[in-house]
Amino acid sequence: MPIARLTRSIFRLSGEGVDPWLSGLITNTLSDDMSFAALLTPQGKIIADFFLTRAGQDLLIDTPEKFGAVLHKRLNLYKMRAPIEITDISDSHNVYAIWDGEGEEGYPDPRHASLGRRLISTDYMETEGDYNAHRLSLGLVESAYDFETSTTFPADANMELMNGVDFKKGCFIGQEVVSRMKRMTTVKKRLRGLVLEGPAQTGDKIMAGERVIGEVYHAQDKYGIGLIRLDRFKAAEVEPTINNVAAQIMNAPDGSDS
């Protein structure tokens, strides 16, 4: 059963009213076990996405290490005078992904069943698994590899297709922009999985004949993630190529071509 230790920053959120305080900031409703959500800019772009895990009366929030400092700073900014404690526990806790096997440790990854389970533990476990290769084979976006802070809208990163946005919850930062994009427009571009027949690297153009239909954001071996212009892709009369070699664009996480 493959298991991988993920490079994450982990914070413990505690104090009276921590649930309603955090709920007013983030894109998703807090669940009773593990939730996937993001903190957005007022313009609706992702500052950091993260998982929230129940730990008694507290919440553990884990985010890609590259987002850790900015997320910690923003949460403290929004805390103001609220009686909330935000403690960095990254040195004493580890985040693991476990997949391709039966198990009861941790919680099912709320984004997609095929990703397996996630576990926060104070133990240091032996690992043998390439998590990046696993999630790329599923065509699923992972912010740790695929985009930087404040560059990407939730829809671009498929967050609403991976149980990361609750459009029926109360207000959150950036909600007006995100809701308007859902109500009034068709999503024009998304990060989608790529099956590669040849070498590719970040920045390579994805072509349909002479027309650019996307750009590679991340690649490893025979899989990658690219930002696809959906209108151009659907209108294309020839198969996509990268560096003049055929490439396949996967469907969205919900199996659709949206």
> What are φ and ψ of residue 139, in 5° steps?
70, 30
What is the pLDDT at residue 166?
96
In this predicted structure, what is the pLDDT of residue 247?
98
Question: What is d(CA 56, CA 161) in angstroms, rounded to the nearest whole number?
Answer: 29
242 contacts 216 by C-beta, under 8 angstroms: yes
Give the integer Cα–Cα distance in Å for 14 and 129: 33
Classify domain 3-184 at the CATH class level.
alpha beta
Beta bridge partners of 11: 61, 88
Pairing of strands 8-14, 189-196: unpaired
Please tell me the distance from the alpha carbon of residue 52 to that of residue 183, in angstroms, as a whole number.
Answer: 27
> Does 189-249 match 3-184 at the fold level?
no
Tokens of 7: 């490079």
Residue 92 is predicted with a pLDDT of 97
- Architecture (CATH level 2) of domain 189-249: Beta Barrel (2.40)
Per-block average pLDDT, block size 10, for the chain (258 residues)? 95 96 97 97 97 97 98 95 95 96 87 96 91 98 98 96 94 92 83 97 98 98 97 96 98 87
Distance CA 30, CA 47 (A): 18
CA distance 87 to 79: 13
pLDDT the model gives residue 22: 97
C-alpha dihedral, 69 to 31 to 17 to 24, nearest 10°: 70
Coil, helix or strand at residue 237: coil
Question: Position 159: which residue type?
Answer: M
pLDDT at res. 31: 96
User: What is the pLDDT, as a whole number, of residue 21?
Assistant: 96
Q: What percent of the chain has pLDDT over 70?
A: 100
Please give the C-alpha separations between residue 198 and each of 69, 243, 250, in angstroms, as whole numbers: 37, 8, 16
CA–CA–CA angle 114, 254, 31 (5° rounding): 70
pLDDT score, position 57: 94
Question: Residue 67's pLDDT is what?
Answer: 98
Give me the residue spans of the domains in the chain.
Answer: 3-184, 189-249
Residue 251 has a pLDDT of 95
